[in-house]
Amino acid sequence: MGFNISLSGIGASQKDLNTTSNNIANSNTYGFKESRAEFGDVYSSSVFSNAKTTTGGGVQTSVVAQQFHEGSSIYTNNPMDLRISGSGFFAVAEDKLQPQNNSLTRNGAFHLNKDNNIVNSEGQYLLGYKVDQETDQVTSYESQSMKVPDQFGQPKESENIDIGVNLPASAEAKNPGNFDFNEASTYNKSTSLTMYDSLGQPYKMTTYYVKDNGGEAAAPPALDADGNPIPADPAADGAADAAADAGGADNRWAVYYTVTDASGEKAVDVNLTPEGDGEVASGDANGPLSSSGHQGHYVEFNTDGSVKSVNNGNPIVTEELGAAGAGLEMNGASEAQKLNIKFDEPTQYAAPFEIRRFSEDGATTGYLAKVDIDPKGSIVATYSNGENVTLGRVGMVRVPNEQGLVSKGGTQWVTSQDSGAAIWGEASQGAFGGIKSGTLEQSNIDMTQELVDLITAQRNFQANSRALEVDNQLQQTILQIR
């Protein structure tokens, strides 16, 4: 009997030693969870035995239980390294076409493979959900592998331009009829943005602002019999300017547009279509017309600096880009391509010229620049065309009983009847923890405690070995009795 008791103690001590050694060996394994050997005594009795004098029968290993408390963090420079702060697991699958056959892990060391799928070091696919681009909400908790395309979108020709500016009230007034985009002295300010044709070819669109001095728009210069311009009468110009100053038009600006050609070197006038111009205060039904024949539109302000009218309330539409009349040769522009321009509440305050908004809706093909993952697990890819696209959301899984999970190695677990079925969800919602990008979870091993446990297990082994030796000596003594 004593032999069996001592032998069970040696076995239990060996199990404790093995468990502690395994913990120490995995102290640097990301996402590893320490194990603890738990023991129970062996006791048996019968109706014919005296319970008061019955001794135990030794010890047995009840369970080697894993402890799922969090480990410490290690910070990396890789945005694909993920850590779960709180409860939950990542889900990975061997086959991206069978996401239902998955494993759970806390090891968030992921990277992109040759096909731009997000995988771990064993090539298993990280699972997540599709996200609606408009609402940024998960459309379904049906898991699938996560992929980061290295290109995004087909080229899209520019159609709409949004402009929001403050035009300084103290700006020097000029005659809009003298506007020439090649002469900076003929306008007050200009701004530029990049627009695209249907092939994604970029062009620079420039907007020019001229504060109206109230003079009549200059007509194209008169030509003599040989076709040469007749010099203007300075006295007449002075009289016109004086009349403009007397009449006053300090609250009106003229706006003109140009677009560069395909080479990006030559600026070409972009005039407005008749449907985009309405009658303005001067009585010119087609808006301001420069001496060079450049057609623009007016922006009028109230005395408090707020906008009164933009193009007299009519839509601002440019002429057809790429058409012969525009003088442009846009590679991918159809003759029907136009620009719809919207001034977003311009102002005229006693403040410097300020661009509040200047954007367009076209795009060229984008190439992957970087990938970020936010605390909600959203995978956001940034492309060279300036597009930020939410590609999906990292899936999170939890189970009712973590102790019931079955370890399969590689810091991975699978569900069992004891753990309960997997519950899918999103990071930072409900009982699920948040996700930290550029961070990994280290093992939750306390090395000091493990070394103390190692010494304790060793002492227990020695003590049981001594008990076994004493039992052997007693048996030997009995055998020598004559």
Nearest in space to 389 (alpha carbons), one of 136, 142, 161: 136
CA 238/CA 221 separation, integer angstroms: 16
Alpha-carbon Rg for the chain, nearest whole angstrom, is: 40
Nearest in space to 310 (alpha carbons), one of 282, 339, 287: 287
CA 109/CA 119 separation, integer angstroms: 9
Assign residue 87 a region: left if phi > 0, alpha if psi is -120 to 50, beta otherwise? beta
Structural domains of the chain, with CATH: 2-69+444-479 (no CATH), 73-153+367-441 (no CATH), 160-364 (2.60.98.20)
| Averages of pLDDT over each 10 residues, the chain, 482 residues | 83 93 94 93 75 79 92 92 95 94 96 94 95 89 92 83 95 92 93 88 92 64 54 49 44 92 78 56 58 86 93 88 61 69 93 93 86 93 85 95 93 95 93 94 94 93 90 86 78
Tokens, residue 203: 């062009």
What integer pLDDT is reported at residue 327 of this predicted model?
58
CA 35/CA 63 separation, integer angstroms: 10
Q: Are 31 and 443 contacting, i.e. CB atoms less than 8 angstroms apart?
A: yes
Residue whose pair of structure tokens reads 């995978």 in the numeric block: 379
What integer pLDDT is reported at residue 224 of this predicted model?
55
CA 257/CA 270 separation, integer angstroms: 5
Q: Give me the residues paired with residue 413 across strands.
A: 104, 407
SS3 for 447-458, per residue?
HHHHHHHHHHHH
What integer pLDDT is reported at residue 130 of this predicted model?
94
